[in-house]
A and B are shown apart, each in its own frame.
Chain A
Amino acid sequence: SSELTQDPAVSVALGQTVRITCQGDILRIYYASWYQQKPGQAPVLVIYGKNYRPSGIPDRLSGSNSGNTASLTIAGAQAEDEAVYYCNSRDSSGNHYVFGTGTKVTVL
Chain B
Amino acid sequence: QMQLVESGGGVVQPGGSLRVSCVGSGFMLSTYAVHWVRQAPGKGLEGVAVISYTGSDKYYADSVKGRFTISRDNYKNTVYLQMNSLRVEDTAVYYCARDEYDSSGYYVDVWGQGTTVTVSS
User: For the complex, would chain B's binding face be called helix, strand, loop or mixed by DSSP majority?
Assistant: strand
* A99 and B50 contact, Cβ closer than 8 Å, known pairs A42-B111, A50-B104, A93-B59: no
Is the CB of B108 closer than 8 A to any CB of chain A? yes
* A97 and B37 contact, Cβ closer than 8 Å, known pairs A42-B95, A42-B113, A102-B44: yes
Is the CB of B89 closer than 8 A to any CB of chain A? no
Is the CB of B35 closer than 8 A to any CB of chain A? yes
Classify chain B: how many residues form its interface, as a range: 20 to 34
Interface size in chain A (residues, C-beta < 8 A): 27
Question: A99 touching B109 by the CB < 8 A rule?
Answer: no
A48 and B110 CA atoms in complex are apart in Å by 13
Which residues of chain A from 41 to 67 have any CB-CB distance to chain B below 8 Å in the complex? 42-45, 48-50, 52, 54
Is the CB of B24 closer than 8 A to any CB of chain A? no
Question: A49 touching B108 by the CB < 8 A rule?
Answer: no
The interface residues of chain A lying within 8 Å CB-to-CB of B112 are: 42
Question: Of B46, B107, B111, which contacts A48 at CB under 8 A?
Answer: B107
Question: B114 touching A42 by the CB < 8 A rule?
Answer: yes
Question: A49 touching B105 by the CB < 8 A rule?
Answer: yes
The interface residues of chain A lying within 8 Å CB-to-CB of B113 are: 42
Smallest CB separation, A74 vs chain B (Å): 19
- A residues neighboring B (CB under 8 Å): 30-31, 33, 35, 42-45, 48-50, 52, 54, 86, 88-91, 93, 95-102
- B residues neighboring A (CB under 8 Å): 35, 37, 44-47, 50, 57, 59, 61, 95, 103-109, 111-114
Q: List 16 A-B contacts (CB under 8 A).
A: A33-B105, A35-B108, A42-B113, A45-B111, A48-B104, A48-B109, A88-B45, A88-B107, A90-B105, A95-B50, A96-B35, A96-B61, A98-B47, A99-B44, A99-B47, A102-B44
